């Protein structure tokens, strides 16, 4: 069940009604059942994985509470993390590691046929809920979160349907207490949630899916595409993935608000970043902070010598790349971002944390924003390509004399460029707000409702109702 389907709207209406007539005790249980139904709609067989993951971390929390012996605590944490990572590793990375191992031996002239790849279906959203569940055990181990004895609340925290399959990856410190507290329906918050959902739907259905059609077509025939086509497709992909993923996050956050929950912010207008450090503070925030808190800082963070610092940065980016998928293209994508990040991070440049705050960006900031975007665009080629060879081919083709032959105005999809222009304008003027439609209640009713209807009709008239799934589901 995807957010952009009537099934979801029916499901949401039923769950909303039932949820608000129940009291707290049953609300959590009902949310667990609803979330399992939501997830089982894709493939009920993988419900057990989610249940195992949640049970492992719940039990780890209880065991960690019972002992102050640090060796035992480490053992408990290691066991919990291992169990989660084994599940994740098997379902997501087994074939990748086997084929990479075989290829590696093959290049050394050692044939290796005894290991075979398996036809494993990747469970939707496994990386999201596994990371969310694991963060609880780590936080309990660090004593930053009190372990819960309420299994239902904990299971609801791990499987909460709005953010279950594509985040934001929540922390127990933020979300779990909300499951333990009484929720009060707040009219204004619910309206705010609907507004955020509406903006998310617009980004997904009108922008991401329309751009996705072009991207699919051109990236599906890379070797038959011209330099301009590949450039346009890569440019479109940058906005497709942004609108797809941030659109999902908006719908998730808005949906959670209907039930009285506040989820963390996942995107903060990343393409307005003036450098790569800023970009990573604004893109997929829940994942980058997860890696910062649970990988980077435990490795020593920046409080080590240069070489260890470089190791820490590159490790985090490469692991973050692999998190996205079992392919060397994701490794390359992560490594490229690590390479962008490191020089700026070690520099003493005082501008590295400065944002473009003026209404109309200065030439200097505009130049920085465009340069940062181009760096990100370069890396997206690796993210989208089928393999490294294809990515190199695409970049070679784009940066070639083929670009001198302008294909004509219609070949650059002017209507889609206009939609991107509208998005950039809307986001630029609202970049101090969480999303552009926030705070509309201050407008006269006629404008407010006019705008709502305009967006709904834009979704209806210009939306792409094909079957493109949310990109981040596969991760």
Interacting residue ranges for other proteins, rule: CB under 8 A: 5-7, 17, 20-22, 185-187, 190-191, 194, 449, 452-453, 456, 460-461, 463, 465-467
**How far is the C-alpha of 435 from the C-alpha of 426, rounded, in Å?**
9
* Alpha-carbon separation of residue 104 from 98, 111, 342, 440 (angstroms): 10, 10, 29, 57
One DSSP character per residue, 342-389 reads: HHHHHS--GGGG----SSS--HHHHHHHHHHHHHHHHHHHHHHSSSHH
Stretch (H or E) spanning 333: helix 328-346
Nearest distance, CB of residue 451 and other proteins, angstroms: 12
Q: For residues 447 and 460, which CB has a smaller minimum distance to other proteins in the complex?
A: 460
85 and 434 Cβ atoms separated by less than 8 Å: no
251 and 204 Cβ atoms separated by less than 8 Å: yes
Measured CA angle at 422 (ends 417, 424), to 5 deg: 90
Nearest distance, CB of residue 153 and other proteins, angstroms: 21
**Count of C-beta atoms within a 10 Å radius of residue 408:** 8
**How far is the C-alpha of 112 from the C-alpha of 306, rounded, in Å?**
39
Stretch (H or E) spanning 419: helix 414-429
Q: Exactly one of 284, 324, 337, 367 is catalytic; which is it?
A: 324
**How far is the C-alpha of 165 from the C-alpha of 255, rounded, in Å?**
14
Q: For residues 44 and 425, which CB has a smaller minimum distance to other proteins in the complex?
A: 44
**How far is the C-alpha of 163 from the C-alpha of 129, rounded, in Å?**
9
**How far is the C-alpha of 288 from the C-alpha of 277, rounded, in Å?**
11
Q: For residues 4 and 234, which CB has a smaller minimum distance to other proteins in the complex?
A: 4
Nearest distance, CB of residue 6 and other proteins, angstroms: 5
Give the tokens for residue 403: 């670009």
Nearest distance, CB of residue 7 and other proteins, angstroms: 8
Cα–Cα nearest to 343, from 251, 275, 430, 259: 275
284 assigned to active site: no
Q: For residues 204 and 368, which CB has a smaller minimum distance to other proteins in the complex?
A: 204
Stretch (H or E) spanning 399: none
Nearest distance, CB of residue 33 and other proteins, angstroms: 17
Helices (H), 220-325: 227-258, 276-282, 285-291, 306-324
Q: For residues 167 and 260, which CB has a smaller minimum distance to other proteins in the complex?
A: 260
**How far is the C-alpha of 268 from the C-alpha of 246, rounded, in Å?**
9
199 and 438 Cβ atoms separated by less than 8 Å: no
* Alpha-carbon separation of residue 369 from 34, 238, 364, 374, 423 (angstroms): 43, 14, 9, 9, 16
φ, ψ dihedrals at 349, nearest 5°: -60, 120
Q: For residues 388 and 456, which CB has a smaller minimum distance to other proteins in the complex?
A: 456
Nearest distance, CB of residue 269 and other proteins, angstroms: 28
Nearest distance, CB of residue 264 and other proteins, angstroms: 25
54 and 46 Cβ atoms separated by less than 8 Å: no
Nearest distance, CB of residue 469 and other proteins, angstroms: 13
Nearest distance, CB of residue 467 and other proteins, angstroms: 7
Length of the chain: 475
Residues annotated as part of the active site = 324
């Amino acid at each position: 069940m995807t957010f952009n389907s009537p099934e979801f709207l029916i499901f949401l209406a039923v769950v909303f009604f039932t949820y608000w007539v129940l009291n707290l005790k049953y609300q959590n249980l009902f949310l667990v059942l609803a979330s399992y139904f939501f997830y089982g709609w894709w493939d009920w067989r993988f419900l057990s994985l989610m249940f195992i993951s949640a049970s492992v971390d719940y039990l780890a929390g209880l065991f960690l509470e019972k002992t102050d012996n640090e060796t035992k605590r480490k053992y408990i944490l290691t066991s919990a993390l291992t169990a989660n990572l084994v599940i994740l590793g098997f379902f997501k990375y087994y074939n990748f590691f086997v084929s990479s191992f075989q290829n590696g031996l093959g290049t050394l002239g050692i044939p290796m046929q005894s290991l075979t790849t398996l036809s494993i279906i990747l469970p939707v959203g496994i990386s999201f809920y596994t990371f969310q569940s694991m963060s609880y055990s780590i936080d309990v181990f660090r004593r930053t979160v009190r372990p819960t004895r309420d299994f239902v609340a904990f299971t609801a925290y791990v499987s909460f349907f709005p953010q279950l399959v594509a985040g934001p990856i929540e922390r127990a410190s933020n979300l779990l207490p909300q499951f333990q507290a009484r929720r009060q329906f707040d009219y204004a918050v619910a309206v705010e949630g609907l507004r955020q959902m509406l903006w998310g739907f617009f980004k997904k259905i009108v922008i991401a899916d329309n751009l996705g059609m072009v991207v699919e077509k051109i990236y599906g025939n890379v070797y038959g595409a011209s330099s301009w086509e590949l450039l346009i497709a890569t440019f479109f992909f940058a906005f497709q993935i942004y609108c797809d993923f941030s659109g999902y996050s908006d719908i998730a956050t808005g949906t959670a608000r209907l039930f009285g929950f506040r989820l963390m912010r996942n995107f903060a207008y990343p393409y307005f970043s003036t450098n790569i450090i800023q970009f990573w503070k604004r893109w997929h925030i829940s994942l980058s902070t997860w890696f910062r808190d649970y990988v980077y800082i435990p490795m020593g963070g920046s409080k080590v010598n240069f070489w260890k610092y470089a190791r820490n940065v590159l490790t985090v980016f490469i692991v973050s790349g692999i998190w996205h998928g079992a392919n060397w293209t994701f490794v390359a994508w992560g490594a490229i971002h690590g390479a962008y990040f490191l020089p700026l991070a070690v520099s003493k440049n005082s501008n590295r944390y400065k944002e473009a705050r003026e209404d109309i960006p200065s030439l200097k900031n505009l130049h920085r924003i465009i340069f940062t975007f181009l760096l990100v665009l370069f890396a997206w080629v690796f993210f989208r390509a089928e393999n490294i060879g294809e990515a190199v081919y695409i970049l070679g083709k784009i940066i070639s004399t083929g670009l001198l032959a302008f294909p004509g105005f219609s070949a650059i999809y002017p209507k889609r460029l206009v939609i991107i222009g509208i998005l950039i304008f809307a986001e630029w003027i609202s970049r101090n707000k969480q999303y552009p439609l926030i705070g509309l209640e201050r407008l006269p009713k006629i404008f407010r409702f006019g705008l709502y209807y305009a967006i709904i009709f834009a979704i209806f008239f210009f939306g792409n109702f094909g079957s493109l799934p949310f990109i981040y589901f596969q991760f």
